[in-house]
Amino acid sequence: MDVFLLILRRDLKIAFRRWGELATPLIFFVIVASLFPLALSPEEAQLRASGTGFLWIAALLSSLLALDGLFRNDLQDGSMEQLALSPAPLALIVLAKTLAHWLVSGVPLLVLAPFLALSFYLPVEALPTLVGALALATPTLSVLAALGAALTVSVRGGGAIIGLLVLPLTAPVLIFGARATDLAVHGESTLGPLYLLAALAVLALSLGPLACAAALRVGLE
């Protein structure tokens, strides 16, 4: 547990010292969301109908965008070797790094999302569900993106293929997340999809770090 906190603190400290990189995915999220009405139409009915799905796609893309360097930086400066050779389990270290990343990229997204949702004329009553669904979905997305980053860690220059590897796997999260939000917009019970999102998060958080650690060990060779 000490190692977990140690890595978490180190990664957060580094993240705040490079705040430019930190802010990029969030600004991306906001800009894409502001372009959406320009591409579609400013009409209330249309925006309200497609705003939910759109917010989810934007959240998905921005959470993938940021993760390319999650392990690559550590691999390139040699600290990944030291982490892999430390007595602590690599999966625990991976989990700490993923959590650190989620704290600096996922949480701000949760804060921004309601404002964007309001601008798409989503009803205020739906906002708690939107934030709740995002809170359950973004950890899964972070784990999947971390997995993509770990798999491509030994690919020269290629963060671009992370999307190709990971996006098909995110389909269930997208389906349940958008469904929960949609149900909330129509004032219906959202428990079903929220439970499913929580189940996916548990699965991802328990198996994901193990897969990441295995991929990193191969990448280190």
Partner 1 sequence: MGLVRWFHSLASPPHFYRFARRLSPWLAVSSVVLIVAGVFGGLVLAPPDYLQGDGFRIIYVHVPSAYVGMLAYVVLAGAAAIGFVWRIKLAHAVAVSVAPVGASFTFLALVTGAIWGKPMWGTYWEWADARLVFELLLLFLFLGYMVLRAAIEDRDKADRVSAILAAVGVINVPIIHYSVEWWSTLHQGPTIARLDSPAITLDMLVPLLIVIVGFTVYFAWLVICRLQGEVLERERTARWVQQLLAERAE
Partner 2 sequence: MSVDPSAGLIVSSLEVWRGERRLFGDLSFELRSGQLALITGPNGAGKTSLLRILAGLSEPRAGAVTWRGTTVRQLAAEFRAAIAYQGHLDGLKNDLTVAENLAFYRALWDGDDALEPLLDELQLSDFAHREVRYLSAGQRRRVGLGCMRLRRASLWLLDEPLTNLDAEGAEVVAGWLLSHTDAGGAAVLATNQAERFDGAAAIEIAL
Comparing CB distances to partner 1, the nearer of 87 and 168 is 168
Comparing CB distances to partner 1, the nearer of 119 and 154 is 154
| Buried-state track 102-125, b at ≥16 Cβ within 10 A, e below 16 | bebbbeebeebbbebbeebebeee
- Phi/psi class of residue 88: alpha, beta or left (left: φ > 0; alpha: ψ in -120 to 50)? beta
- Residue 129 is which amino acid? T
220 belongs to the binding site for partner 2 (CB under 8 A): yes
Window 43 to 82, contacts with partner 2 (CB under 8 A): 76-79, 81-82
Residue 81 binding result from partner 1, partner 2, none, given CB thresholds of 5 to 8 Å by partner type? partner 2
175 belongs to the binding site for partner 1 (CB under 8 A): yes
Give the total of residues touching partner 1 (CB under 8 A): 27
* Per-residue CA distances from 149 to 70, 80, 98 (Å): 7, 13, 11
210 belongs to the binding site for partner 2 (CB under 8 A): no
61 belongs to the binding site for partner 1 (CB under 8 A): no
First to last CA, the chain: 27
Selected binder of partner 1 within 35, 155, 191, 202 (CB under 8 A): 155
For helices 191-220 and 69-76, what crossing angle results, to 10°? 20
Q: Which residues lie near partner 1 (CB under 8 A)?
A: 147, 151-152, 154-156, 158, 161, 164-165, 167-169, 171-172, 175-176, 179, 196, 200, 207, 211, 214-215, 218-219, 221
